[in-house]
Structure 1
Amino acid sequence: MTQLDLSIEAGVSARHLSFVETGRSRPSPDLILRLAEQLDTPLAERNTMLLAGGYAPAYPSHDLDGPELAPLRAAVRQILNGHSPYPAVLVDQHWHLVEANPAVALFTAGAAQHLLAPPINVLRLSLHPDGMAPRILNLAEWRAHLLNRLRRQAVTTNDPTLSALHEELHCYPCGDDVLPTSDDVSAVVVPLRYRHGDQELSFLSTTTLFGTPLDVTVAGLAVEAFFPADPVTTAALHALDAGSAEVG
């Protein structure tokens, strides 16, 4: 985006924007927020920009366990529970596991204990050789998908924690994929092909974000949900859920 493009989108003259950029003019808090909005800057970075301009932060950051976010947590639990018997998790901005439904046990089974000790990082759990990686049949493909997503997130947020996580995960072995399949799913999305016992399960993944966050913590939350990509996986997940209910 050029300076002229940004000035048009933000509704400010290119001359004034140039003066702001070079330090000849001091931006108002409203202008800082308008520029941040047009640049799709994360809420935490918007607070940093306001502080740099000599203003108070505009966005609060509440604790997830605090009373302010209790309605949000209740809504997320409803989403996670309603998604069963398919796996779904709530993660924070650094991919730490916040909540999960019981179906996620399918992915954590067999993982080393050090990967399951809080705080659990779901990307590390996915790609670590002691985690899910040995059971991911298309590991190289899935790994590339996750690393590209993490890299874009790290660049967008300028978050050193995410950058360090990317560097760590990039050093993990990628494995050898099985021959690519030509099914309909693989033609439109990258599936997760996962071995459970003697079965191959195939999943589609979706990401759900809060549409109008005004809190730094909420803006970093995401629900990662997995759907069966074929009838075999659907039947297997329902069978596992029925078996768990009988044991319970």
Structure 2
Amino acid sequence: MTAGPVEQAREQVQEQAREQARAGRLLAKWRRQRGFSQLELANLADVSARHIGFVETGRSQPSREMVLRLAGHLDVPARVRNSLLLAAGYAPVYPERPLDDPAMQPVLEAVRRVLRGHQPYPALVVDGRWDIVASNDAFGLFTEGVAAHLLEPPVNGLRLVLHPEGMAPRIANIGQWRDKLLARLACRAALDERLRPLYEELLGYPCARPEPEIGAPGPDDIMVPLQLRHGDVTLNFIATLATFGTAHDVTMSELVIESFFPADEHTAAYLSGS
């Protein structure tokens, strides 16, 4: 039996209310993730804590500007900001261009310059799924001995490191790196469902320490180095991450440049050929 106009209108109102509630739950999830109370977020956004509470419970419909303001104060990624806008009943505002789009060419050229300039040390660029977009010649040091199927595009950077046929057998401190990478991925997967299958896959890889652990650093620890075996030597690296801080495109905002530097003089001399 076909619903009448009154029933259809009621269903539309109920659906809109459900969407508003979903937008509020997403905002509340990000607020908690960032460690803000409702009052702290309200002060930042120059609204009342009561209004924040009404938005989070779906009792109040936030304006487009309010969604963007709250998302900005919570440093929500561009992809999620689009999802928040959709849930609140508004059109997305952040485009998502493919990497081969002409508008992305200046970005890719800037990335290539960074990678070339980092020689003779390894560097790579990954996207929001941790797929490798580009790398420099020195990155070949990391892929030596890796199974061919792991190097077929798209090459996933996390799979490359943790797979038993990837870099894992050559990483002397694979337990530490596994813990660090899985913890980072778990945080992202909790907020981005696209990454959940990857997390489950990597969690299932065999390792001497199968479950991620949270350990306190020692008195002399300032970082977790990457200890990579290369032939008869062990090279030590520290890693830095860089992003495009003013990106308004989803694809661009998710690009991460990971650069590896020598953690000791021995590694520096080995990589420079001296």
Is 1:86–2:121 an aligned residue pair?
yes
Match of 2:46 among 5, 11, 15: 11
Instruction: Give secondary structure in 2 for the equivalent of 1:193.
Output: strand
Instruction: Give secondary structure in 2 for the equivalent of 1:172.
Output: coil
What are the Cα deviations for residues 74-112 of structure 1, in whole angstroms up to 9, with x where unaligned?
110000000011000010011000000011111111010
Q: Shift in Å at residue 30 of structure 1?
A: 0.4
Query: Which residue matches 2:56?
Result: 21
Query: Which residue matches 1:125?
Result: 160
What are the Cα deviations for residues 168-195 of structure 1, in whole angstroms up to 9, with x where unaligned?
111112238xxxxxxx9x7210000011
Q: Shift in Å at residue 153 of structure 1?
A: 2.2
Letter in 2 for 1:174: C
Q: Shift in Å at residue 210 of structure 1?
A: 0.8
Instruction: Give secondary structure in 1 for the equivalent of 2:76.
Output: coil
Match of 1:141 among 171, 176, 191: 176
Instruction: Give secondary structure in 1 for the equivalent of 2:227.
Output: strand
Looking at structure 2, the residues matched to 116 and 175 of structure 1 have their Cα atoms a distance apart, in angstroms, of 24
Instruction: Give secondary structure in 2 for the equivalent of 1:201.
Output: strand
What are the Cα deviations for residues 124-176 of structure 1, in whole angstroms up to 9, with x where unaligned?
01011000011001111111111111112223xx2122222122111112238
Match of 2:189 among 144, 154, 158: 154
Letter in 1 for 2:63: S
Match of 2:225 among 166, 188, 191: 191
Query: Which residue matches 1:114?
Result: 149
Match of 2:105 among 42, 66, 70: 70
Q: Which runs of 5+ in 1 are unaligned?
A: 177-183, 243-248
Looking at structure 2, the residues matched to 73 and 234 of structure 1 have their Cα atoms a distance apart, in angstroms, of 28
Letter in 2 for 1:28: S
Looking at structure 2, the residues matched to 23 and 163 of structure 1 have their Cα atoms a distance apart, in angstroms, of 27
Query: Which residue matches 1:168?
Result: 201
Q: Shift in Å at residue 58 of structure 1?
A: 1.3
Letter in 1 for 2:240: T
Letter in 2 for 1:197: G
Looking at structure 2, the residues matched to 233 and 33 of structure 1 have their Cα atoms a distance apart, in angstroms, of 46
Count of aligned positions: 230
Query: Which residue matches 2:136?
Result: 101
Q: Normalization by structure 1: what TM-score?
A: 0.88
Looking at structure 2, the residues matched to 152 and 23 of structure 1 have their Cα atoms a distance apart, in angstroms, of 25
RMSD in angstroms over aligned alpha carbons? 1.7
My pick for the range that moved more, 198-207 or 45-54, is: 45-54
My pick for the range that moved more, 123-132 or 140-149, is: 140-149
Query: Which residue matches 1:180?
Result: none
Q: 1:187 to 1:20 in 2, by over 3 A?
A: closer
Query: Which residue matches 1:35?
Result: 70
Q: Which runs of 5+ in 2 are unaligned?
A: 1-35, 210-217
Looking at structure 2, the residues matched to 17 and 224 of structure 1 have their Cα atoms a distance apart, in angstroms, of 37
Identity across aligned pairs (percent)? Answer: 53
Looking at structure 2, the residues matched to 44 and 127 of structure 1 have their Cα atoms a distance apart, in angstroms, of 27
Looking at structure 2, the residues matched to 203 and 71 of structure 1 have their Cα atoms a distance apart, in angstroms, of 29
Query: Which residue matches 2:28?
Result: none
Q: Shift in Å at residue 228 of structure 1?
A: 0.8
Looking at structure 1, the residues matched to 207 and 57 of structure 2 have their Cα atoms a distance apart, in angstroms, of 45
Q: Shift in Å at residue 18 of structure 1?
A: 2.9
Letter in 2 for 1:213: A
Instruction: Give secondary structure in 2 for the equivalent of 1:98.
Output: strand
Higher RCO (CA 8 Å, separation ≥ 6 residues): 1
Match of 2:269 among 235, 242, 248: 235
What are the Cα deviations for residues 21-72 of structure 1, in whole angstroms up to 9, with x where unaligned?
3333321100001111122211111111111222111111111111111111
Query: Which residue matches 2:235?
Result: 201
Letter in 1 for 2:75: D
Letter in 1 for 2:197: A
